[in-house]
Amino acid sequence: MALGSGGQFYDELETMTVEARREHLNQRLREAVDHAYRNAPAAREMLDRAGVRPADIRTVEDLERLPVTRKTDLIELQRRNPPYGGFLAIPAEDVERVFISPGPIYEPLHGGRIKWFARSFYAAGFRKGDIVVNTFTYHLSPAGLLFHEALRDCGATPVVTGTGNTDIQVQTMLDLRVTGFVGTPSFLMTLIRRAEEIGHDFRRDFAVRRAWFTGEPLSPSVRKTLEEDYHISTCQAYAVTEPGGALAYECPEKNGLHFMDDYVVEIVDHETGKQLGPGEIGEIVVTPLHNRAWGLIRFGTGDMSSYVTEPCPCGRTAYRLVGIMGRTGDAVKVRGMFVVTRQVEEAVSGVAGVSRFQVVVGREGQRDRMTVRVEPAGEGVDRDTLTSELNERVQSVCRVRVDRVEFLPAGSIPDGAPRVVDERKWD
Ligand SMILES: [Zn+2]
């Protein structure tokens, strides 16, 4: 099947069986580790230090034996051993392009036109005939160029607008009858508001009907506004610059983000590096399989999430990432489970009668205790009902039982206080 030839799926990998995918990923992982070990001195050193031979890494599960490399490690390694920190795995003259992330981190790319990247845009509905403003930067970071090429691979025509220039973007969208937007949700909202400020009726005068987002979370309320008020179909992807691309993407079901098959994505306990199962929250760790120039193995993104294995009604078979719940720095481990600010907010936002709240993790003997402190919204709130609703919501969203709900007078929790506080003493 030709790539992006007009069917429901971009390519046949999207509908592989679970078994076929496991074999596909294991096979490519073995090749990637072997190639990195042979050609990238930093990868070789990392394996040697862990006492692991490339032949020991047969499956995704075997990756647990290797340490996680983080952004700060990469910056330091590149500073000591410029320019690529020993991760370059092909001759320097064969590097097709170099991207630069804050740090700086220099990221060599081999194979500039990566066809599979388009899966994410294809799933969002981009096709031949679409004219799309690509409002990501074309400088330094991979975003602008990679998204541009992916739009082309779906047959769409990108307009090279890049970031900023609100008025020019609005005029361009009008003049070219632009049908698609690629950027952040907040920037699309800015463009719509600007168009309305200068007297346009956005729905009547503009032709934008689909949007693809990454770079910031898409809140349910913004999504609702865009979809219902402006009839713009929205899809988001999870992209990370260092490993070079979108690791997961939404399908028309908009219920979780399917893993991209050109990476091995693990969810791990960021303190131990051990892999976690479906539904457990941990750090997203990624090994790119598509870029022979870059011998990066187990890159720790610092983002926390979990994944689900239930089949998706869209027909894509890759497991799905459940949004991004926060950063490793915000995560607090309670009785072996990570609890993250965003997740707690999600849990409590579903309970009526809460004005302010704070989750406090302490210890009683050898046991962690989780307390939810609540300022009720007024005198009329039934405390027993509120307590049982909080218990139920937090348990279902965070998978950790609440030990106690404590009611505080209004004004006890200051503005800007952290949502999750760890009061345990570590010595
Ligand atoms: Zn799906």
**Which tens digits make up the pLDDT trace of 316-349?**
999 999 988 888 888 888 988 888 888 889 899 8
Residue 338, pLDDT score: 87
Residue 335, pLDDT score: 87
Ligand 1 centroid, distance to 309 Cα (angstroms): 11
Q: Which amino acid is at 223?
A: R
Q: Which pair of structure tokens corresponds to residue 70?
A: 């983080």
Ligand 1 centroid, distance to 260 Cα (angstroms): 12
Tell me the C-alpha distance between 79 and 81, whole Å: 6
Ligand 1 centroid, distance to 257 Cα (angstroms): 7
Residue 114, pLDDT score: 80
Ligand 1 centroid, distance to 242 Cα (angstroms): 26
- Nearest Cα neighbor of 36 from 84, 77, 88, 96 is 88
Within 10 angstroms of residue 51's Cβ, the number of other Cβ atoms is: 8
Ligand 1 centroid, distance to 60 Cα (angstroms): 23
**Which tens digits make up the pLDDT trace of 102-122?**
888 999 998 767 888 899 999
Mean pLDDT (the chain) is 93
Residue 2, pLDDT score: 45
Pairing of strands 404-407, 367-376: parallel
Residue 229 CA: distances (Å) to CA of 164, 192, 340, 417: 24, 11, 32, 34
**Which tens digits make up the pLDDT trace of 43-102?**
999 999 999 999 999 999 999 999 999 999 999 999 999 999 999 999 999 999 999 988
- Nearest Cα neighbor of 294 from 130, 136, 80, 142 is 142
Ligand 1 centroid, distance to 133 Cα (angstroms): 25
Ligand 1 centroid, distance to 325 Cα (angstroms): 20
Ligand 1 centroid, distance to 397 Cα (angstroms): 21
Ligand 1 centroid, distance to 407 Cα (angstroms): 41
Residue with tokens 């090279």, as numbered in its chain: 160
Q: Out of 151-160, 174-183, 223-232, 414-423, pick the least confident.
A: 414-423
Q: Which amino acid is at 179?
A: T
Residue 330, pLDDT score: 81
Q: Which pair of structure tokens corresponds to residue 325?
A: 């719940």
Q: Which pair of structure tokens corresponds to residue 74?
A: 């990469």
For a pLDDT cut of 70, what percent of the chain falls above it? 98
Confidence check: pLDDT of 426 > 70: no
Ligand 1 centroid, distance to 183 Cα (angstroms): 21
The phi and psi torsions of 266 (rounded to 5 degrees) equal: -115, 150
Tell me the C-alpha distance between 324 and 304, whole Å: 6
pTM of this prediction?
A: 0.88
Within 10 angstroms of residue 197's Cβ, the number of other Cβ atoms is: 9
Q: Which pair of structure tokens corresponds to residue 47?
A: 């394996």
Residue 216, pLDDT score: 87
Half-sphere exposure of 301 (CA within 13 A, CB side): 28
Ligand 1 centroid, distance to 70 Cα (angstroms): 30
Half-sphere exposure of 291 (CA within 13 A, CB side): 30
Ligand 1 centroid, distance to 2 Cα (angstroms): 21
DSSP labels, 376-417: ESSTT--HHHHHHHHHHHHHHHHSS---EEEE--TT-S-TT-
Confidence check: pLDDT of 1 > 60: no
Confidence check: pLDDT of 23 > 60: yes
Ligand 1 centroid, distance to 155 Cα (angstroms): 22
**Which tens digits make up the pLDDT trace of 354-364?**
999 999 999 98
Confidence check: pLDDT of 3 > 80: no
How does DSSP classify residue 83? T
Confidence check: pLDDT of 6 > 70: no
Q: Note the residue count of the chain.
A: 427
Within 10 angstroms of residue 220's Cβ, the number of other Cβ atoms is: 10
Residue 75, pLDDT score: 93
Q: Which amino acid is at 299?
A: F
**Which tens digits make up the pLDDT trace of 160-205?**
999 999 999 999 999 999 999 999 999 999 999 999 999 999 999 9
Ligand 1 centroid, distance to 141 Cα (angstroms): 28
Ligand 1 centroid, distance to 258 Cα (angstroms): 7
Confidence check: pLDDT of 5 > 70: no
Residue 379, pLDDT score: 85
User: 81 or 399: whose pLDDT is higher?
Assistant: 81
Tell me the C-alpha distance between 390 and 396, whole Å: 10
Ligand 1 centroid, distance to 372 Cα (angstroms): 35
Confidence check: pLDDT of 243 > 90: no
